Chain A
């Protein structure tokens, strides 16, 4: 028996919006500690990890660990039917092949039940390691989204370079080049507007803007984004979900095409 009641139903809607374009279908894993998801994009290049801890739910009942395969497009369709202020309850019986989403209006005068078929999805859980990173940048998520969007109109890739002075995003394309530098800035009125750079080592890595832009779809979930970079590890783009958990995107950097390899 599974019953998860989330007062802030809009949160789940935003989560779906942020990953449904990247991931086709995925297993949602429920345990006593929380509701989580780990999935790859269709080309198996990027990885998404989502965690919503049990404490964040008004009511959290999960009798035994259960994994529910869902088509995220279909799930997003159903969650679109929930109002932004609605309370969402996720329900599933043991051994059932469906999951039920219940939407309650804040005034309790409207209750909607949506039942969705589950899928069998083969997927191995990948234990993603915690790691130390050479550089960690925290900045307003809207700013990051804007930068990725702007740069993608010029080029296909972004070079993210972190130095003591700040973080530089640059790209080049057929029409020219673009460089955007964000300096460390902690003297702001609101903490979420700060740009904070923790750096052990300077690092400069190239990423596909297509993926970065897809990651920034999670911007509505959090006012800040944390980008962790190491020259040997995939980048982590993390959006914290207030008092509940996080959504993290992992992506391997691109490398300069070796001349000798690209020639036929």
Chain B
């Protein structure tokens, strides 16, 4: 059994990158896939975002800001109903305080809440709701273990309010973990925790790196410090350095692997062996391996995208994180259970109108399958009918109501009558009648084809040439003049005259290795000396030479960085403060460890402009 955690940095762009949700999930090849930073709002949950054949999904979305945070857990299952698979949770919960509305599932039925986690009296209800309102946690109970999919909050070091939030978040989370551990449950915690536990997990860590309160807190969770958890990756690879999962988005940090390890898999609890004894625990007995899937990293060595160039013209595709994967051994099946009510298949919006024709028919097919295989177990029929009639209001568990609704369905909608249904399923595009019928059934008959067509095999942006700085432009044009001076290349009469002009003169000494300045001078010489050439030609050459000079000035006015002697990139201060709007120059190279001379040399220079009165006071 494999569990993967991946901060996708926007589920939508990742789906676009891979062509479809299913392809994204397939490429991760795991039984339970936990995404963080889906950046989806509730109203974004549409079939193409949440439905993939063979997976059950559980989403938590932010209730505050749009396009922010959000986690999702995908479980690869053969059947969502009466299944014994461990991947299919027996229970699922959004958030970890248990206070969110519908935290246990959709629908009218109010799930009997388990007792509120103990020891949270010191927090007000608002505070508790606040830590859950960002959509940072999905808990799925898989029988043998309880899986937490967490997106830990990030806080700038000087943002007091945010730090307090982060503090509360982990404090409350820890209470929940403790409560479960007291009940003897095994825990697996995965996700982007936004904490790099120790110096080894961060590039160029400063000496006091480990002193941070959150890093200390993280380490206190671990077994070696008396806590309940094992940091699975570190436990499997205690010595491995430069094993990072996240790289800064803006500085090209991937190139020199200048990152940090903040995506984690933690495990706690005993093993499943019957006679658990000394030296047995979940980690040693069941975790085969744990790896960072660096093939998902945006920047691959030997990539053809070219040099970083200060980020100009390069759009790195992919998330700024890499997935982390854990393989488990010897996890036995569990007793028969159905998918929990939190499954997105019960999400009213998704179910209501946002399906594609194909996904709907496909689901109908499985429903039919279940129906024919299973005897009249009423709850199963409910399930299949529910999936048949997506627009139908969900019936309650009450048998009477169930029977009634079943009848109503069959009577009111002729389309659901057995053979018609199977006909539609078996030959969806056969006769126009049925086609229109199935259209009627599926109120949003958004055709399925476009979805597959959207598989934008986005080629790397066709770079139709690079922006010439004026200097390189003139270097080229002088090269082309050299080219022209070699007979038989040009087909343009005027160019020929030019080539004559050069061969009359001292063009013989030009070869490809000539420096630009030599050419520059000779062009000027020619312009001045050759009285044969037309005035227009002369004027153009003068202009050309003049422009070359201008270009040189323009280019030279960009400072060169100390480390590599390369032209810098200009940036403007965006942060509020006395220097807002000021221009400065920095090294164009990607950020990297200080030991690597190829990496950004941290060169910094203000542009030669400053407020006049400031100059006076200095």
Residues of A bordering B, CB below 8 Å: 24-25, 40, 42-45, 47, 69, 71, 73-74, 97-98, 117-124, 126-132, 155-157, 172-174, 201, 206, 208, 230-234, 252-257, 262-264
Chain B proximity of A84: nearest CB distance (Å): 25
A155 nearest CB neighbor, chain B only: B464
Can you spell out 16 A-B residue pairs with CB atoms less than 8 angstroms apart? Answer: A24-B607, A25-B609, A42-B572, A69-B612, A117-B612, A118-B611, A123-B557, A126-B554, A128-B546, A131-B542, A155-B464, A206-B465, A233-B540, A252-B551, A255-B473, A257-B465
Q: Are B613 and A97 in contact (CB under 8 A)?
A: yes
A119 nearest CB neighbor, chain B only: B609
Residues of B bordering A, CB below 8 Å: 302, 304, 306, 312, 456, 458-459, 461-470, 473, 476-477, 494, 536, 539-540, 542-544, 546-547, 549-551, 553-555, 557-558, 569-572, 581, 583, 607-613, 615-616
A128 nearest CB neighbor, chain B only: B550
Given contacts A119-B612, A120-B615, contact A129 B462 (CB under 8 A): no
Given contacts A44-B555, A97-B613, contact A122 B608 (CB under 8 A): yes
Rounded to whole angstroms, the CA-CA distance of A4 and B540 in the bound complex is: 37
User: CB < 8 Å: which of A42, A44, A174, A264 contacts B469?
Assistant: A44
Q: Are B464 and A256 in contact (CB under 8 A)?
A: yes
Beyond contacts A44-B555, A129-B543: 10 other A-B pairs, Cβ-Cβ < 8 A, are A25-B583, A47-B554, A117-B612, A120-B610, A132-B540, A174-B458, A232-B540, A233-B544, A254-B466, A262-B304
Q: Are A262 and B543 in contact (CB under 8 A)?
A: no
Q: Are B536 and A132 in contact (CB under 8 A)?
A: yes
Q: Are B540 and A117 in contact (CB under 8 A)?
A: no
Rounded to whole angstroms, the CA-CA distance of A97 and B614 in the bound complex is: 10
User: CB < 8 Å: which of A45, A73, A131 contacts B467?
Assistant: A45
Chain A residues with Cβ under 8 A from B462's Cβ?
172-174
Chain B CB count within 10 A is highest, among A44, A124, A234, for: A44
Rounded to whole angstroms, the CA-CA distance of A201 and B550 in the bound complex is: 25
Chain A proximity of B545: nearest CB distance (Å): 8
Rounded to whole angstroms, the CA-CA distance of A234 and B468 in the bound complex is: 10
Rounded to whole angstroms, the CA-CA distance of A26 and B605 in the bound complex is: 18
Rounded to whole angstroms, the CA-CA distance of A208 and B312 in the bound complex is: 13
Q: Are B468 and A233 in contact (CB under 8 A)?
A: no
Rounded to whole angstroms, the CA-CA distance of A74 and B612 in the bound complex is: 14
Rounded to whole angstroms, the CA-CA distance of A233 and B536 in the bound complex is: 14
User: CB < 8 Å: which of B544, B558, B611 contacts A232?
Assistant: B544
Rounded to whole angstroms, the CA-CA distance of A253 and B551 in the bound complex is: 13
Chain B residues with Cβ under 8 A from A208's Cβ?
467
Chain A proximity of B557: nearest CB distance (Å): 6
B554 nearest CB neighbor, chain A only: A44
A261 nearest CB neighbor, chain B only: B466
Rounded to whole angstroms, the CA-CA distance of A63 and B465 in the bound complex is: 48
Chain A residues with Cβ under 8 A from B459's Cβ?
174
User: CB < 8 Å: which of B302, B554, B608 contacts A264?
Assistant: B302
Q: Are B461 and A174 in contact (CB under 8 A)?
A: yes
The 8 closest A-B pairs by CB, nearest first: A131-B543, A122-B608, A97-B612, A129-B546, A42-B570, A254-B465, A121-B609, A252-B473
Rounded to whole angstroms, the CA-CA distance of A130 and B535 in the bound complex is: 13
Rounded to whole angstroms, the CA-CA distance of A147 and B551 in the bound complex is: 28
Chain B residues with Cβ under 8 A from A263's Cβ?
304
Chain B residues with Cβ under 8 A from A257's Cβ?
463-466
Q: Are B467 and A254 in contact (CB under 8 A)?
A: yes
Q: Are B539 and A132 in contact (CB under 8 A)?
A: yes
Rounded to whole angstroms, the CA-CA distance of A204 and B542 in the bound complex is: 22
Rounded to whole angstroms, the CA-CA distance of A25 and B611 in the bound complex is: 11
Chain A residues with Cβ under 8 A from B458's Cβ?
174
Chain B proximity of A259: nearest CB distance (Å): 12
Chain B proximity of A118: nearest CB distance (Å): 5
Chain B residues with Cβ under 8 A from A42's Cβ?
570-572, 583
Rounded to whole angstroms, the CA-CA distance of A264 and B301 in the bound complex is: 11
B456 nearest CB neighbor, chain A only: A174
Rounded to whole angstroms, the CA-CA distance of A121 and B554 in the bound complex is: 14
Q: Are B456 and A129 in contact (CB under 8 A)?
A: no
Q: Are A129 and B465 in contact (CB under 8 A)?
A: no
B610 nearest CB neighbor, chain A only: A120
Chain A residues with Cβ under 8 A from B570's Cβ?
42-44
Chain B residues with Cβ under 8 A from A262's Cβ?
304, 306, 463
Rounded to whole angstroms, the CA-CA distance of A25 and B609 in the bound complex is: 8
Rounded to whole angstroms, the CA-CA distance of A177 and B570 in the bound complex is: 32
Given contacts A24-B572, A43-B570, contact A172 B464 (CB under 8 A): yes
Given contacts A44-B557, A230-B540, contact A121 B608 (CB under 8 A): yes
Q: Are B609 and A122 in contact (CB under 8 A)?
A: yes
Chain A proximity of B439: nearest CB distance (Å): 29
User: CB < 8 Å: which of B465, B554, B581, B613 contacts A40?
Assistant: B554
Chain A residues with Cβ under 8 A from B304's Cβ?
262-264
Chain B proximity of A132: nearest CB distance (Å): 5
Chain B residues with Cβ under 8 A from A255's Cβ?
465-466, 468, 473, 476
Rounded to whole angstroms, the CA-CA distance of A73 and B547 in the bound complex is: 28
Q: Are A252 and B612 in contact (CB under 8 A)?
A: no
Rounded to whole angstroms, the CA-CA distance of A117 and B613 in the bound complex is: 8
Q: Are B468 and A253 in contact (CB under 8 A)?
A: yes
Q: Are B612 and A45 in contact (CB under 8 A)?
A: no
Chain A residues with Cβ under 8 A from B615's Cβ?
120
